[in-house]
């Protein structure tokens, strides 16, 4: 055994490949470019000098600190000489044009009777609990633009609401006023729902639309209900809007469905008119349209399509092609859902007996999903 070990070692050394010690010139040049060294003798200052300046500071930093202290002391002396107790504070103006007073500087070496405060009593604070409560007690109350309660309207109610908003906006446009004023709170909470219900929208000769009322006073009352200038109360009371909308929807009749075709052809190429109608609908109902749907809307019909209640998708069994199978193929049945073995037992009248036996034997009535679950229950 001992004689075989040197032989194996010799064979192993003979078969192992020797490592190559030669490196080409290109590889040596690349390695030299990636490794740089610099002599410490070329540094501006020795290492011990830089360490000393880091710990104890340099001469330049000491001179700068002494210069600042001298300027501060000289300024305090000048202020103490030129300013007395009754003199007004210096007023300066910043780059934004705002004026502020420069706080008085007090030097304990000059004013011997000055006593430094040890507490925060009497100082103005910003951001504390008291400061927040004082701002909250100013009577400022946030009132949102959109209704907090989102209204769920039927398609007929959406048509009536868009008719009302469009009539108000067109009346403002006809009078030469800003269309965006349709969102302003009404004067004395005036309600113009009954006035706009009798208005008719007709296409004009030049391609636009015209609004006509059955009574001349109705148009004037609709215009007078919207204020001329934006009031202090920028948004109308949410409860008032909710009550008005509920009353208008309760009194809505189906006569406006006949005028729906003329309403839907109103062009919304004017972006101010489109945004005014959308903002007023958002203010009353709380329903917001996404930006792509709003940008694609070219007529009131597009807004009505986006606002109206979408029909629930029908199932495959409700397709007309499958419904005709009941007449054409009486032996074929189409169900709305997947048929289970229980449904088959119910169809032949066998499930009632099976259910009674399962309850009597204290076995689960439903939930068995494997085949042969009721084997042995007889």
- pLDDT string in tens for the chain (378-residue length): 455 566 666 666 655 555 566 677 777 777 777 666 666 555 677 887 888 888 888 888 888 888 988 888 887 777 666 655 555 677 888 887 888 777 776 767 667 787 878 888 877 777 777 777 776 666 556 666 777 777 778 888 888 888 888 888 888 888 888 888 888 877 776 667 777 877 888 777 776 777 888 877 888 888 888 888 876 665 555 566 666 666 666 655 544 454 566 777 788 888 898 999 999 888 888 888 999 988 998 888 889 888 887 777 677 777 888 878 878 888 888 887 888 888 989 989 999 999 899 888 888 887 655 555 555 554
Structural domain contains residue 53: no
CA nearest neighbour of 241 among 366, 335, 147: 147
Q: Are residues 254 and 366 in the same domain?
A: no
Q: Can you say how many angstroms the Cα of residue 82 is from the centroid of all Cα atoms in its chain?
A: 57
Structural domain contains residue 271: yes
Q: Are residues 224 and 252 in the same domain?
A: yes
Which of 275, 307, 339 represents a domain boundary (last residue)? 307
Q: Which two tokens stand for residue 218?
A: 């109705």
Q: Are residues 352 and 371 in the same domain?
A: yes
CA nearest neighbour of 377 among 180, 368, 254, 118: 368
What is the DSSP secondary-structure string of 28-65? Answer: HHHHHHT-----GGGSSS-HHHHHHHHHH--HHHHHHH
Structural domain contains residue 81: no
Q: Are residues 214 and 297 in the same domain?
A: yes
Which of 258, 274, 307 represents a domain boundary (last residue)? 307
Full residue range of the structural domain in which residue 370 is found: 313-378
Q: How far is CA 281 from CA 146, 182, 300, in A?
A: 9, 10, 12
Which of 256, 284, 307 represents a domain boundary (last residue)? 307
Q: How far is CA 265 from CA 166, 321, 336, in A?
A: 12, 34, 39
pTM over 0.85, yes/no? no
Q: Are residues 298 and 220 in the same domain?
A: yes
Domain total for the chain?
2
CB 160 within 8 A of CB 258: no
Q: Are residues 289 and 319 in the same domain?
A: no
| Separation CA 260–CA 276 (nearest Å) | 20
Structural domain contains residue 360: yes
Largest interatomic CA distance in the chain: 128
| Separation CA 40–CA 51 (nearest Å) | 14
Q: What is the pLDDT of residue 36?
A: 60
Q: Are residues 179 and 296 in the same domain?
A: yes
Structural domain contains residue 326: yes
């Amino acid at each position: 055994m001992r004689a075989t070990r040197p032989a194996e070692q010799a064979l192993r050394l003979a078969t192992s490949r020797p490592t190559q010690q030669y490196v080409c010139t290109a590889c040596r040049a690349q390695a030299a470019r990636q490794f740089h060294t610099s002599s410490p003798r070329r540094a501006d200052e020795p290492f011990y000098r830089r360490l000393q300046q880091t710990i104890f500071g340099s001469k330049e930093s000491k001179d700068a600190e002494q210069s600042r202290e001298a300027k501060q002391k000289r300024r305090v002396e000048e202020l103490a000489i030129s300013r007395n107790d009754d003199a007004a504070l210096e007023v300066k103006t910043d780059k934004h044009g705002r004026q502020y007073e420069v706080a008085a500087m007090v030097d304990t070496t000059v004013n011997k009777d000055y006593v430094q405060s040890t507490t925060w009593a009497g100082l103005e604070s910003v951001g504390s609990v008291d400061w927040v409560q004082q701002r909250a007690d100013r009577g400022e109350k946030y009132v949102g633009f959109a209704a907090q309660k989102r209204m769920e309207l039927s398609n007929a109610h959406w048509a009536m609401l868009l008719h009302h908003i469009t009539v108000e906006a067109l009346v403002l446009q006809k009078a030469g006023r800003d269309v965006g004023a349709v969102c302003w709170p009404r004067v004395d909470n005036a309600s113009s729902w009954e006035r706009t219900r009798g208005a008719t929208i007709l296409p004009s000769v030049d391609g636009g639309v015209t609004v006509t009322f059955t009574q001349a006073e109705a148009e004037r009352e609709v215009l007078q209900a919207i204020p001329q200038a934006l009031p202090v109360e920028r948004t109308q009371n949410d409860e008032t809007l909710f009550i008005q909308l509920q009353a208008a929807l309760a009194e809505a009749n189906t006569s406006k469905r006949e005028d729906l075709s003329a309403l839907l052809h109103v062009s919304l190429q004017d972006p101010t008119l489109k945004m005014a109608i959308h903002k007023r609908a958002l203010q009353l109902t709380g329903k917001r349209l996404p930006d792509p749907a709003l940008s694609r809307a070219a007529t009131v019909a597009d807004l009505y399509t986006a606002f109206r209640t979408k029909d629930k998708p029908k199932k495959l069994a409700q397709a007309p092609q499958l419904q005709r199978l009941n007449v054409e193929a009486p032996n074929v049945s189409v169900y709305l859902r997947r048929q289970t073995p229980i449904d088959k037992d119910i169809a032949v009248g066998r499930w009632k007996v099976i259910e009674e036996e399962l309850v009597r034997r204290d076995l689960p009535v439903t939930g068995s999903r494997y085949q042969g679950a009721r084997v042995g229950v007889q």
